[in-house]
Amino acid sequence: MFKPTAITLALSLALFPAPQQANEQRVIVTHKSLPAPQPDTLGGQEANSPAQQAPAIKKIELPDMGDSSGTLISPAEEKEFGEAFFRSLHSQITINQDAEIQEYIQSIGQKLAANSDAPEHPFHFFVVMENDINAFAGPGGYIGVNSGLILMTEAESELASVMGHEIAHVTQRHLFRAAEAAGRLSIPSAAGMLAAILLGTQSPAMGQAAIMAIMAGNVQFQINFTRENEEEADRVGMQTLAASRYDPRSMPTFFERLQQATRYYGQAVPEFLRTHPVTASRISDTRGRAETYPYKQYPDSLGYQLTKAKIRVLSDTNTAAATEYFQSRLTQGTVEQRTVARYGMGLIALKAEKFKEAEGVFQTLIHDYPEQPQYAIALARAALDARNYPLAVNRYKKLTEQFPDNDAIKLDYIASLLKTEKADLARNNLLSLNPQMQRLPTYWELLAQAYSDLNQPAESHRYLAEYYYAMGQTKDAILQIKLAQESKGLNFQLSSILSERLHFFFNQEQEAKRNR
């Protein structure tokens, strides 16, 4: 069992500064070089283009202090910790599962990471479907951005500035040690505690309840940044922003908007903003630093605008607010902005199951913009949601040929194949997806469905167990493995795999129980 005396890596790195702590110690983690992920073009600007006269990024060298025993957490342990943290989040808050949104946020994040001072560091970016304004970084390079923060941004560079700041927290090793007693926690418990602390920034009552459920004895688990850490993350993040050809001035601009927003909350200021204020000093510092870069225009990518439109529709429970928002923009702004409003209205019609209306909107958009994948994906989705599965399969198949690198299309195509009893083809397509897409719980769910349709119950239960485990539901994962073991005709290889996974899941669950 991993006993992280440097558990200390457990953190919820927030966008804003926490009160400075006395006698802080840092854990510096060394990583072997890994290939830098290649960002795609959804972010709108070339990832490898040099910034205009951007200052060179220089990593801040910090001392290797470690913990009291002099040990450091290894890259493998950090990876394991990050994965456990991500699973815990799935069990407590709503992580976006929409492949288009995921592909976009990954494209922005990987572009920034590739231009950071540690391009070899692995990162995984995701969207939390919460209206609160928040962004955070966890162990292992897991960086989350709330949908509410994305909707608050008014430019793609503002979103990139937040993500660049969080990337800097990771690359500069702002990973704080918790109380010495926290070293007794296992990875599942530490990850659960970390997720609970994050929940405290989303919902204080929910976070406190989760922490109380996980705490062992008098163990306390605290995560804070110093003001120096925040200044460093702002400075390094801005360098990454400029190197990625985003607007450095977007950072202070967004900080100012956040500061102004707090004035309208009254007593209902979110816990996150109440305990981590954006100070005038911080705005002034970032403004002065941004002014050292040459001024130029930084147009938003269409991918940013369309992703925001989709998030707005998904976030509106009754679509009334989204409808009012897009209707008011159908005749205002640039041609591109009016087009995005039309797309938003089409998504609203699709959400309301007004399939003919949605089809009309998307058909017109495709006619005007045949090379824009989002409109064609929405049209194919209209057929899928309307249960016209043969038409959906036909549309998605054509899209996989037109946009062969689009993973969102691949996932929807697989879903449509399963609806038309083409499970073997669906399974083959699933197994060919890239590792980033195989991180999504949806991947395991679709794979389980494919094997179920192929009348292979043991394999179906096996992969459904992986789905539940990815969602942070270890007990359900154990149940699925046991169901798989009861299946007839198990061969030696599959039986061995099931036994190993049952042992693994059981140990994970027992470790978590021991620390409650």
CA atoms of 502 and 471, how far apart (whole Å)? 16
Q: Which residue out of 67, 103, 117, 234 is catalytically annotated?
A: 234
Distance from first CA to last CA of the chain, Å, rounded? 16
**Which residues lie below 8 Å from residue 117, measured CB to CB, with a gap of 6+?**
57, 58, 59, 171, 236, 239, 240
Tokens of 288: 């002065």
Q: Would you give the distance in Å from CA 23 to the centre of its chain?
A: 32
CA atoms of 470 and 441, how far apart (whole Å)? 6
R_g of the chain computed on alpha carbons: 23
Query: Cα-flanking dihedrals φ and ψ of residue 393, to 5°?
Result: -60, -45
What is the biggest distance separating any 2 CA atoms in the chain, rounded to whole angstroms? 70
Let me know: does 440 contact 415? Beta carbons within 8 Å: no
CA atoms of 329 and 308, how far apart (whole Å)? 14
The amino acid at residue 119 is P
Element (H, E) at 178: none
Q: Which residue out of 83, 166, 232, 445 is catalytically annotated?
A: 166
**SS3 state at 329:** coil
Q: Is 234 an active-site residue? A: yes
Let me know: does 145 contact 254? Beta carbons within 8 Å: no
Residue 203 DSSP symbol: -
Q: Is 100 an active-site residue? A: no
257: alpha, beta or left, given left = phi > 0 and alpha = psi -120 to 50?
A: alpha
203: alpha, beta or left, given left = phi > 0 and alpha = psi -120 to 50?
A: beta
CA atoms of 509 and 439, how far apart (whole Å)? 21
The amino acid at residue 376 is A
Residue 251 DSSP symbol: H
C-alpha dihedral over 29, 32, 35, 41, to 10 degrees? 10
Number of residues that this document lists for the chain: 516
Element (H, E) at 346: helix 335-351
CA atoms of 301 and 130, how far apart (whole Å)? 24
Element (H, E) at 135: strand 135-137
> Which residues form the catalytic set?
166, 234
